[in-house]
Amino acid sequence: MSKRLVVAIDGPAGAGKSTLARRIADKLGILYIDSGAMYRAIGLWALRSGISLEDAQRLEQLAQQAHIELLPQGGRVLLNGEDVTEAIRTPEVSEAASKASAVPGVRRAMVEQQRRMAREASVVMEGRDIGTVVFPDADVKIYLDADAAERARRRMAEAEARGGRPDALQMQREIDERDARDRSRSTAPLMQAPDAVYLDSTGLSISEVEQEVLRIIRERTSNGKELQA
């Protein structure tokens, strides 16, 4: 008998969620969903259309109208048919996404889409509220953390790999601000689900974290059932 598997990975910016989630999904041959990319797409659309990030009503309308596709091949992100994979990774969009994601109506629209994406398939989904709100019944919940300086270093390296020339202090400030906003918002704040496994990736290699998460998944699913990809 096969069973759908839902693996939820939450944590602050730069903890290594995306890399980990992608590798776990690859290993298990199941779908990877980057829920942050969806909030980023909304942030990008708001910036482009000149909608104020304080205007909850218009942001909610925008989120309801947005057609967001996460293509499994190559992790491309489409917004209303346009490939916005690179456009959503700028510092301006990071901030806009964090602000837009604090709007309850925006979250409602995204959570509905996220649940729809996982209805038919096994998934690894990463974000801030996956284990607490989107899938409170997820089979495996991981809260991935790392110390603030390490997280800023990783984001710097990512920005440099994209050809940027980030300023270390500014990067640290932006991450701190964004995490504070994501943790303190009233709807679905970033927090560890009571039944999530806490993992601190500071000083660990990605393969060490991956091995540990695969071990947890095996432990939780070792009841003889096969995965349905």
List of residues contacting ligand DC (CB under 6 A): 13, 35-36, 39-40, 97-98, 101, 127-130, 178, 182
Q: Are 155 and 175 in contact (CB under 8 A)?
A: yes
Shortest distance in whole angstroms from residue 89 CB to ligand DC:
8
Please identify, using beta-carbon distances, which residue of 17 and 210 lies nearer to ligand DC: 17
Shortest distance in whole angstroms from residue 39 CB to ligand DC:
4
Please identify, using beta-carbon distances, which residue of 153 and 227 lies nearer to ligand DC: 153
Q: Please provide the size of the chain in residues.
A: 229
Task: State the Cα–Cα distance between residues 48 and 71, nearest whole angstrom.
Answer: 23
Q: What secondary structure letter does DSSP report for 194?
A: T
Please identify, using beta-carbon distances, which residue of 182 and 210 lies nearer to ligand DC: 182
Please identify, using beta-carbon distances, which residue of 126 and 210 lies nearer to ligand DC: 126
Tokens found for residue 124: 């690894």
Q: What secondary structure letter does DSSP report for 196?
A: P
Amino acid identity of 22? R
Chain centre distance of CA 115:
14
Task: State the Cα–Cα distance between residues 76 and 37, nearest whole angstrom.
Answer: 10
Shortest distance in whole angstroms from residue 60 CB to ligand DC:
15
Q: Are 175 and 152 in contact (CB under 8 A)?
A: yes
Shortest distance in whole angstroms from residue 59 CB to ligand DC:
13
Shortest distance in whole angstroms from residue 40 CB to ligand DC:
5
Shortest distance in whole angstroms from residue 100 CB to ligand DC:
8
Q: Are 186 and 124 in contact (CB under 8 A)?
A: no
Please identify, using beta-carbon distances, which residue of 23 and 40 lies nearer to ligand DC: 40
Please identify, using beta-carbon distances, which residue of 89 and 221 lies nearer to ligand DC: 89
Tokens found for residue 109: 């629209």
Please identify, using beta-carbon distances, which residue of 190 and 227 lies nearer to ligand DC: 190
Helix extents (H) in the chain? 17-28, 35-48, 56-65, 91-100, 104-117, 148-161, 168-184, 206-220
Q: Are 217 and 6 in contact (CB under 8 A)?
A: no
Shortest distance in whole angstroms from residue 12 CB to ligand DC:
9
